[in-house]
Structure 1
Amino acid sequence: MTGAEDANREGVVGHGYLAGAGWVVAARGELDQDTLGPLEEVLAAAVDQHRMVVLDVGSVTFGDSSFLNLLLRLHQLTTLRIAAPGDQLRRLFALTGADTVLSLHPTVEDAVRAS
């Protein structure tokens, strides 16, 4: 991996950790087709290893249709819970109807505890 790829991974993917019955992945910054790769890799690995994945999007400032597409694909593969979406992501989910499909939660703790 090049230094630029390392910096990009650090730019959009925060820490991951075990919580309850699943794995939490923290994302941050702007998530679009140009920056989504590292997050997609981390989420794919989490899906392979855990029945439930919580994506903490509390530090995401922007997500586009490619980010939404990733979430919808992962939703079909595992129990995916989205935690702490900000105003922009809530608008994206509402405008596209994804809020009726995805499991959205106000906090990571709520997402982990949800049944």
Structure 2
Amino acid sequence: MPPPDRGPALHVHQYACGDSWVVAAAGDLDAQTLPPLQRALEAAAMTRQIVVFDASAVPFADSSTLNLLLQTHRTTRLRIAGAQPQLLRILEMTGTDATLALYPTVTEACAAVVS
């Protein structure tokens, strides 16, 4: 029996934005799809003081994503940009929206970090 359709694969790309480094993900985030994002955030945190996670193309995220964001927050100044309603709900339900810096867009996250 073939595995269930999990939807599109996760795509991760990275780029500089002022003094910060943006790690952008597109697709659902769960324990199975998270490793590429985890590698990208860990590498960015090792070389950059400020990392912006662009979540604008992430329609679904589970608790493994929350754990990764908190781990990244402990090692660098993490900003989350464009979080979709489902991720925002997890952040609000766990109270981590008060701990993590949330911005509507990458542009605003980068501007806040640079200023």
Name the TM-score class by shorter chain. 0.7 to 0.9
Which ranges of structure 2 fall in alignment gaps of 5 or more residues?
A: 1-7
**RMSD value over aligned CA atoms?**
1.3
Q: Is 2:46 aligned against 1:48?
A: yes
Return 5+ residue gaps in structure 1 as ranges: 1-9
- State the one-letter code of the partner of 2:63: S
**Distance in 2 separating the partners of 1:101 and 1:13:** 26
Alignment of 1:2-81 (within 5 A): 11-81=9-79
In structure 2, C-alpha distance between the alignment counterparts of 1:51 and 1:12, rounded to whole Å:
25
Q: Which has the higher helix share?
A: 1
TM-score normalized with structure 1 length: 0.88
Q: Give yes or no for contact 2:12–2:37 (8 Å, CA) kept in 1.
A: no
- Alpha carbons 1:13, 1:25 under 8 Å: kept: no
Deviations 1:10-66 (CA, angstroms, capped at 9, x unpaired): 932332101111100111111111110111001111111111000000000110001
Secondary structure (helix, strand or coil) at the match of 1:30 reads coil
Whichever structure has more strand as a proportion of its residues is: 1
TM-score (normalizing by structure 2): 0.88
Greater gyration radius:
2
Name the amino acid aligned to 1:43: L
> Is 1:100 aligned with 2:98?
yes
Does the aligned pair in 2 maintain the 1:26–1:57 contact within 8 Å? yes
